A and B are shown apart, each in its own frame.
Chain A
């Protein structure tokens, strides 16, 4: 049962993983219900920046009731979060969104694909698929050789790297890495920038396999009320019946064949 709530949680630990990339563990009861591919919204203490920042859940520790988020500093809000230390209070809303269909892809050969700051949600996904999938190939793309989360991912599957500058793994993007390593899959789960997701949608169509992709968009409420974050869908969405589904609640994970991106 996913019951959304807003609460003041506490930062357990925070460290920097790479240039502009931060890794934060938060102590929160929301860990009980968190699923891979879901996200939380994080509020700033600065009241000039009112809207919460949607950030994907990187890892779930149900035993200690902790959630891990790994995020990139891009503006005022994330700059504030990056300064938080153990014990800092943090206002969060969660858990939000549908998450990846981990049960549905069990027993299959799975590609887990992440690009840049789309890599973090693939970690908990990989963890939960570990031992359930027939094979897990994790293909991740970075800008350079600052390979954040690589070691964590290696615990749960075969990791293949692509870097834009060629400083590690395949030079190029995740699609180049698939080709170079002659990898094959029955199903894809992915999160990353739009050009990557478009390439995956095309690849999935050509290979006639399902691809579940996690989308992002500017959001206000995060709970499906404001209709700010929509994506064009092939079929009529169930809320407004106009082929515009809400990413925060109907997504962020969609079958690639069902969305027009």
Chain B
């Protein structure tokens, strides 16, 4: 039996395969396709202190080898989430990582405090959503703001925190260092890359929000590069994501320095992707006689 376990900030995962926030709801919709017990963790859609209605439609558009989204973090708020989504996820033998979003530092703290006595394993702090006007990415594009909000959230959080980094910065290692200095327990990257699409027949923006976040296989090389850079700049475990479509992609991220790997947009393309990545990693371990999966983390220097 090959050992696929990985540990992030003291939390042990049966395997490194997770879901990227916003692509998997709270697992309910995809539980028709995938046995959630097979996954290392479910990372939920972002949840705020109150319900958010999100952006006008169209919210999604296809692009070459990927997609743009500008959902705008529609969510039911933390109270409904605690009452409905956490009990659903607790039925499964998988770790629960809750993605937390907010417009102000106080919003984030309110959610984090409400989750304090809940049976969730980690908190992923979304300071990198490109589709909301206030909060979100504003905290994730300036190292000083990122340091401050990380410190503030860390002081209140009962679970280990993962700051989710934006690729829409000049130097992602500066942001990673700021999150580390602020006390983050782990990092996840990358969030989507800001993009735009124009409908030339209508002479209009294809998304109602004008810009959106690019995801899918088109962004994978950028994500692998950033994981590698960050892994070499800080001493924090990394959850890598950006266009992971199969086990080969996931292993690439791990070799670049990721401890965990998350499947995002490809869930929409193939709802069985997460399970296929889990199985594919095991086959890879067989093929190369790898006993402990964690041995490959950051093995390419």
Q: Is the CB of B268 within 8 A of A218?
A: no
Q: Are B60 and A219 in touch, CB under 8 angstroms?
A: yes
Query: How many pairs of A and B residues are in contact by the CB < 8 Å rule?
Result: 115
Q: Does B71 contact A (CB under 8 A)?
A: yes
Q: Does residue A6 face the partner (Cβ distance < 8 Å to B)?
A: yes
Point out the residues of chain B lying under 8 angstroms from A219, CB to CB.
Answer: 60
Produce 1/0 per residue, A224-235, CB < 8 A to B.
111111110000
* Interfacial chain B residues near A43, Cβ < 8 Å: 269
A224 pairs with B29, CB closer than 8 A: yes
A47 to B51, alpha carbons, bound, how many Å?
36
Which of B22, B53, B66, B217 contacts A226, CB < 8 Å? B22
Instruction: Say what secondary structure dominates the interface of chain A.
Output: loop
A52 within 8 A of B: yes
Contact yes or no, A225 B65, CB < 8 A: no
| Pairwise interchain contact A240-B65, C-beta atoms closer than 8 A | no
Q: Give the chain A neighbours of B100 by CB distance below 8 A.
A: none
B76 adjacent to chain A (CB < 8 Å): yes
Q: Is the interface of B mostly helix, strand, loop or mixed?
A: loop
Q: Tell yes or no: A208 within 8 A of B by CB.
A: no
Q: Tell yes or no: A163 within 8 A of B by CB.
A: no
> What mask results when residues 217 to 255 of chain A are scored 1 for a CB within 8 Å of chain B, else 0?
111111111111111000000011111100001000000
CB distance from B108 to the nearest CB of A (A): 19
Residue in B32, B76, B270 whose beta carbon sits within 8 Å of that of A4 in the complex? B32
Asked whether, in the complex, the Cβ of A225 is within 8 Å of the Cβ of B53, the reply is: no
**With an 8 A cutoff between CB atoms, is B77 at the interface?**
yes
Q: Is B29 a contact partner of A52 (Cβ separation < 8 A)? A: no
Contact B29 A218 (CB under 8 A): no
Chain A residue with Cβ nearest B77: A241
Bound form: Cα–Cα A230–B24 in Å:
16
Question: Which residues of B are found within 8 Å of A231, using beta-carbon distances?
Answer: 57
Digitize A10-33: 1 where CB-to-B-CB distance is under 8 Å, 0 elsewhere: 000000000000000000000000
Q: Is B271 an interface residue (CB 8 A)?
A: yes
- A223 CA to B67 CA in the complex, in Å? 17
Bound Cα distance A219, B71 (Å): 11
Complex alpha-carbon distance, A88 and B219, angstroms: 31
- B32 touching A229 by the CB < 8 A rule? no
Q: In this complex, what residue of B is CB-closest to A41?
A: B268
Which residue from A51, A226, A230 sits with its C-beta under 8 Å from B62? A51
Q: How far is the CA of A219 from the CA of B23 in the complex (A)?
A: 13
Q: Inside 8 A of B59's CB, which chain A residues have their CB?
A: 218, 227-230
Give A93's nearest chain B residue, CB to CB.
B271
State whether B76 touches A224 (Cβ < 8 A). no
Residue of A nearest to B62 (CB): A51
Q: A residues near B, CB below 8 A?
A: 3-6, 43, 47-52, 93, 217-231, 239-244, 249
Q: Which 4 A-B pairs have the closest CB atoms?
A: A228-B60, A242-B53, A225-B29, A218-B58
Can you list 26 A-B contacts (CB < 8 A)? Answer: A3-B32, A4-B32, A6-B33, A6-B270, A50-B67, A50-B269, A51-B60, A51-B268, A218-B58, A218-B59, A219-B60, A220-B268, A221-B267, A223-B32, A223-B33, A223-B271, A225-B268, A226-B23, A227-B54, A228-B57, A229-B59, A230-B57, A241-B80, A242-B52, A242-B54, A243-B53
